[in-house]
Amino acid sequence: MEPTVVSVEIGGRTLSIETGVLAKQAQGAVVVRQDESAVLVTSCVSKDPVNFGFLPLTVAYQDRTASFGTIPGGFLKREGRPNERETLASRLIDRPMRPQFPKHIGRELQIVATVFSFDPASDTDVLAICGASAAVAISNIPCDDPIAGVRVCRIDGEFFINPSVEQIEKSDINLVVAGSKEGISMVEGGGNEVDEESMMDAMELAFVEIQKIITTIEELRAKVGKEKFALPEKPKADEVVHQQMLDLGSEEALRTALATPGKHERGSALRAARTEIIEKLVAGEEDSDRVSYLTGEAKSSWESTLRHLMRTRVATEGIRIDGRATDTVRKITVETGVAPRAHGSTFFTRGETQSFVTATMGVAADSQRIDFANYHGERRWMLQYNFPPFCTGEAYRMGGPKRREIGHGALAHRALIPVLPDAEEFPYVLRCSADILESNGSSSMATVCGSSLSLFDAGVPLKRSVAGIAMGLIKEEIDGEDVYVVLSDILGDEDHLGDMDFKVTGSRKGITAFQMDTKLGSIPRDVMKRAMIQARSGRDFILDAMDAAISVPNTEMSRYAPRITSLQIKTDKIRDIIGPGGRVIRSIQDEFGVKIITNDDGRIDIAATSAEAAANAEERIREIVQEPEIGKMYLGVVKRVVDFGAFVEILPGTEGLVHKSELDFERVHNVSDFVEEGQDLLVKVIPPDRSGKLRLSRKQALKDAENEA
């Protein structure tokens, strides 16, 4: 069967989408290619309608190790649970795709992206975003107009679309941008302390390329698209019940309850007010089905009124749920050094969001081995984010990290990369672990702040402090005109009821990480610019609070932290440090209680908890690697006695011959009359013989010692 193929030029290279040959039993299936990268993306929908009460969409992105020419590690030799890269790629697909589906679709949806071939010239995550949209567009699944995604990076002031892995590593801006015809709907990435204008330029360039891909997907849909199945009737609010709720005072009750300070107190007041109004509504009703219907409609009316009140109050009065102005950041408190045995630790509290972050320093052997499609090597900076149920006052089963935790951790991890010290300057492996103790709005940004503070507390020489802030947006039509209100440091309810979730991290110099999701089709440039400027102001406010607690790294590291001493040796001497079967390096580690890490470039790192142990280990290593100097005297040990002289070890593992002519001033007939094995012998290094072998002289050493006397 011949495939149907459409193509477009993106970033100076052809991006093609084909269908009709592979995975034909899926409702939609496409293969997206650029360079030698290829991703199969399928879309499927359950046959039987089910009322989930939410959009039942699952997205799975899966790399195949064969696609980049490796065999999986471990005993089973097969791919297992999704790794971090696969999880983050799945989120990149889910976030722009989810708003495209009708919420009342009533069927389970699944998008699966499988990498067939990975070419470092074209990363497959953005290809999978385009493939997901195309697979749904040609299927029988109802959805809005297509979306697409591209990666944009900047190198030496020049922007590149869908750059290679090598180009990404050299860039100072790296963003994944997704959007529809109307505008940008999702951004994920970061920068090396860049300005707001540059970030906006990158997004606008990406948007132009996105339009080309969307046009190509529409072309494919016109050729092979299936007829969409009929949607169930969209539930309509009962206007009679809604009016009855208003007549019973639901709006006034909401205003009163919303004025209650505190997340849980406000929630309790809202629930109590709603219950009271509903009890009045159903009073006198005897039919249980009627009571159930009225209760459901009353709850929907309540939520609708809540949304309307919150949004219009912000748009018309500039007053938020908790009474703050739109650009006000909640109260911040910082406490460092809270965990005595941790190398660095911080409590960071902003309003009702609180993070406990620890920083730990390790040696090279503690680094994380990464074997992803787009990166193979060691990760010396790690950050993990944990969101336990108690932080929201809930109780549910705890397990491994969920996608949200991995995504939030990756955002915070990215935020600090530009300010970390180089390995040559600070040869430690670094890890931060963030536990969210309270959550009411952007715990990921609290993690960024807490991580920066805890690293300073540990004595890590960051270039600058880094803070993060979550921004929101309310768009309401007031008197026939669209009013956009930007909110700083949003609450959880403002995230839920608002139109945008925009997180930005950075130092006083510029932006380091950026994440945006919007429920709107597009956001005007002037509004986005206003949001970024307001975010910078809020970030500076947070940095002021952080700097008041600790603004530079501690000069004293924790007594429990390893001290790393580094020295440089010749690369051909590394084997002498390790010794046969590792015996030499193990003996030094055991004798002095240190950890020694050898590097291929000849750098030796010695990690110890005491300066004395590190100094003793360093001295031993220098003894091993030092080379004999011609004309210098050494007190060596006789290792072997032979007819023509004695072999003397002057340095660990370094032996030279004292020829019998160099043993004494008088003629030596029998070497054993002058020296014996195990004897200490003062010798002098003399020029080597023609073969370059080390030569020693006891006679000249005695002469020099006599002259000095």
Just give the CATH number of 633-708. 2.40.50.140
**Cα–Cα distance measured from residue 637 to residue 644, given in angstroms and rounded to the nearest whole number:** 17
Can you name the residues that pair with 153 across neighbouring β-strands? 160, 174
Strands (DSSP E) contained in 288-380 are: 332-336, 344-350, 353-362, 368-372, 375-379
| Amino acid letter for position 418 | P
**Per-residue confidence band for 189, with pLDDT thresholds at 50, 70 and 90:** very high
- From residue 682, alpha-carbon distances to 442, 497, 662, 688, 698 in Å are 71, 86, 12, 18, 6
Just give the CATH number of 563-625. 3.30.1370.10
- Whether the pLDDT of residue 27 is over 60: the answer is yes
Domain 332-549 in the same topology as domain 4-224: yes
Of residues 691 and 445, more confidently modeled:
445
**Per-residue confidence band for 264, with pLDDT thresholds at 50, 70 and 90:** confident
Range 663-676 average pLDDT: 86
Of residues 447 and 556, more confidently modeled:
447
**Per-residue confidence band for 6, with pLDDT thresholds at 50, 70 and 90:** very high
Strands (DSSP E) contained in 274-428 are: 332-336, 344-350, 353-362, 368-372, 375-379, 381-386
**Cα–Cα distance measured from residue 383 to residue 253, given in angstroms and rounded to the nearest whole number:** 44
Predicted pLDDT of residue 1 = 66
* CA dihedral sign of residues 16, 21, 22, 28: positive
Range 150-176 average pLDDT: 96
**Per-residue confidence band for 80, with pLDDT thresholds at 50, 70 and 90:** confident
Sole residue written with tokens 């219950």: 275
**Per-residue confidence band for 447, with pLDDT thresholds at 50, 70 and 90:** very high
Strands (DSSP E) contained in 85-129 are: 109-117
Q: For residues 382-397, b (16+ Cβ closer than 10 Å) or e, as one string?
A: bbbbbbeeebbeeeee
Q: Measured at the alpha carbon of residue 217, what is the angle toward residues 212 and 222, in degrees to the nearest 5?
A: 125
**Per-residue confidence band for 355, with pLDDT thresholds at 50, 70 and 90:** very high
- Secondary structure element (H or E) that encloses residue 669, with its range: none
* Total residue length of the chain: 709
**Cα–Cα distance measured from residue 688 to residue 454, given in angstroms and rounded to the nearest whole number:** 57
Range 228-253 average pLDDT: 88
- Whether the pLDDT of residue 668 is over 90: the answer is no
- Secondary structure element (H or E) that encloses residue 464, with its range: none
Q: Measured at the alpha carbon of residue 520, what is the angle toward residues 515 and 522, in degrees to the nearest 5?
A: 80
Other CB atoms within 10 Å distance of the CB of residue 404? 13
* CA dihedral sign of residues 22, 26, 27, 30: negative
The encoded tokens of residue 641 equal 């006695």
Residue 596 contacts residue 604 (beta carbons within 8 Å): yes
Residue 520's φ and ψ, nearest 5 degrees, are -90, 155
Predicted pLDDT of residue 234 = 80
**pLDDT digit string, tens, across residues 676-696:** 898 998 989 898 877 778 889
Residue 22's φ and ψ, nearest 5 degrees, are -100, 150
Q: For residues 606-620, b (16+ Cβ closer than 10 Å) or e, as one string?
A: bbbeeeebbebbbeb
- The pLDDT mean for the chain works out to 91
Residue 1 contacts residue 17 (beta carbons within 8 Å): no
Residue 524's φ and ψ, nearest 5 degrees, are -55, 150
**Cα–Cα distance measured from residue 631 to residue 645, given in angstroms and rounded to the nearest whole number:** 20
Can you name the residues that pair with 644 across neighbouring β-strands? none
- Secondary structure element (H or E) that encloses residue 184, with its range: strand 184-194
Torsion (CA) 401, 518, 123, 146 in degrees, nearest 10: 120
Can you name the residues that pair with 485 across neighbouring β-strands? 474
Other CB atoms within 10 Å distance of the CB of residue 545? 17
Sole residue written with tokens 């499927």: 44
What lies within 8 Å, CB to CB, of 679 at 6+ separation is 637, 638
Of residues 524 and 417, more confidently modeled:
417
Range 610-624 average pLDDT: 85
**Cα–Cα distance measured from residue 16 to residue 287, given in angstroms and rounded to the nearest whole number:** 60
Predicted pLDDT of residue 519 = 83
At 521, is the secondary structure helix, strand, or coil? coil
β-pair type (353-362, 344-350): antiparallel
- Cβ-count burial of 204 within 10 angstroms (0-12 exposed, 13-18 middle, 19+ buried)? middle
The encoded tokens of residue 484 equal 């956009």
**Cα–Cα distance measured from residue 98 to residue 106, given in angstroms and rounded to the nearest whole number:** 14
Sole residue written with tokens 């930005």: 504
Q: For residues 43-64, b (16+ Cβ closer than 10 Å) or e, as one string?
A: bbbeeeeeeeeeebbebbbbbe
Alpha helices in 468-610 (DSSP H): 492-497, 525-549, 574-578, 583-592
Greatest mean pLDDT among 76-90, 311-325, 355-369, 458-472: 458-472
**Cα–Cα distance measured from residue 509 to residue 463, given in angstroms and rounded to the nearest whole number:** 10
Range 598-604 average pLDDT: 87
Residue 459's φ and ψ, nearest 5 degrees, are 90, 15
CATH domain 239-317 topology? Arc Repressor Mutant, subunit A (1.10.10)
Greatest mean pLDDT among 218-222, 240-244, 683-687, 699-703: 218-222
The encoded tokens of residue 474 equal 């309310």
**Cα–Cα distance measured from residue 490 to residue 262, given in angstroms and rounded to the nearest whole number:** 14
Range 217-238 average pLDDT: 90
Best CATH choice for the domain 4-224 from the list 3.40.50.1370, 3.30.230.70, 3.30.70.260, 1.10.1660.10 = 3.30.230.70
| Amino acid letter for position 229 | F
- Whether the pLDDT of residue 575 is over 90: the answer is no
Predicted pLDDT of residue 655 = 87
Predicted pLDDT of residue 709 = 57
Other CB atoms within 10 Å distance of the CB of residue 511? 26
**pLDDT digit string, tens, across residues 288-297:** 888 898 898 8
**Per-residue confidence band for 104, with pLDDT thresholds at 50, 70 and 90:** confident
At 319, is the secondary structure helix, strand, or coil? strand
The encoded tokens of residue 306 equal 């809540």
Residue 147 contacts residue 34 (beta carbons within 8 Å): no
DSSP string, 439-451: -SS-HHHHHHHHH
Just give the CATH number of 332-549. 3.30.230.70
Predicted pLDDT of residue 610 = 78
**Cα–Cα distance measured from residue 156 to residue 171, given in angstroms and rounded to the nearest whole number:** 8
Please tell me the least confidently modeled range out of 118-127, 299-308, 457-466, 699-708: 699-708
- From residue 399, alpha-carbon distances to 89, 389, 402 in Å are 21, 11, 8
Predicted pLDDT of residue 8 = 97
Domain boundaries, the chain: 4-224, 239-317, 332-549, 563-625, 633-708
> With left for phi above 0 and alpha for psi between -120 and 50, is residue 31 left, alpha or beta?
beta
**Cα–Cα distance measured from residue 150 to residue 148, given in angstroms and rounded to the nearest whole number:** 7
- Cβ-count burial of 550 within 10 angstroms (0-12 exposed, 13-18 middle, 19+ buried)? buried
**pLDDT digit string, tens, across residues 510-540:** 999 999 998 886 788 888 889 999 999 999 9
Strands ordered across the beta sheet of 467-478: 158-161, 148-155, 173-179, 184-194, 511-518, 500-506, 467-478, 481-488
**pLDDT digit string, tens, across residues 332-347:** 999 999 999 999 999 9
The encoded tokens of residue 620 equal 């031993």
Predicted pLDDT of residue 206 = 96
**pLDDT digit string, tens, across residues 655-665:** 889 888 888 88
The encoded tokens of residue 585 equal 């390096």
Predicted pLDDT of residue 11 = 92
Residue 19 contacts residue 104 (beta carbons within 8 Å): no
